[in-house]
């Protein structure tokens, strides 16, 4: 098995899209995926890109990905690395690809002087929670993530 980690290119957009759909299906939200391969390709090609993505290739086939972007901590005065999605095909799990992707992101975060890496995890996803705990990560139980979308977002945007 020859594993390669590399940054995604616009030509990877269709495969990234498929992996996003697979992840959304696993998370029971396949109907929520609105992005298209064309949009992903255009966003990867932007300077600077809206996101970055590390692909995990095994014997020339992309079996997983880690899509991330930077945020900023006002408390540390440094960037952070926000992992939006990490996914490895179910048939390729247990081979170290998820750990390799996270290690690559940690390397990028350290190289870019990021204060931290953070990501969301569904409360019911026990296999993933166990995996993350095995790496020494800790949940931020005292924080609740809030979201404003759709009509509520538009309504607030038109106030005052």
**Residue in 26, 72, 87, 132 annotated catalytic:** 132
For residues 154 and 160, what is the distance between their CA atoms, to the nearest angstrom? 13
Q: Are 109 and 66 contacting, i.e. CB atoms less than 8 angstroms apart?
A: no
Q: What angle do CA 52, 9, 59 make, to 5 degrees?
A: 105
- Strands 61-73 and 3-7 turn out to be unpaired
Q: In which residue are the tokens 């750990």 written? A: 99
Residue 72 falls in the annotated catalytic set: no
Please answer whether residues 63 and 57 qualify as being in contact, where contact means their C-beta atoms are separated by less than 8 angstroms: yes
Distance of CA 126 to the CA centre of its chain: 18
Please list the active-site residues.
132
């Amino acid at each position: 098995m020859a594993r390669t980690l590399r940054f995604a290119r616009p030509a990877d957009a269709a495969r990234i899209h498929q992996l996003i759909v697979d992840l959304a299906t696993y998370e029971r939200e396949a109907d929520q995926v609105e992005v298209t391969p064309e949009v992903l390709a255009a966003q990867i090609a932007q300077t600077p890109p809206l996101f970055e993505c590390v692909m995990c290739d095994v014997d020339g086939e992309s079996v997983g990905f880690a899509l991330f972007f930077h945020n900023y901590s006002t408390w540390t005065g440094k960037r952070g690395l926000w992992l939006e999605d990490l996914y490895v095909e179910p048939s390729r799990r247990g081979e170290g690809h998820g750990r390799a992707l996270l290690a690559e992101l940690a390397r990028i975060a350290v190289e870019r002087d990021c204060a931290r890496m953070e990501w969301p995890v569904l409360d019911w996803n026990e296999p993933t929670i166990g995996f993350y705990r095995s790496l020494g990560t800790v949940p931020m139980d005292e924080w609740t993530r809030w979201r404003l979308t759709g009509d509520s977002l538009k309504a607030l945007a038109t106030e005052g």
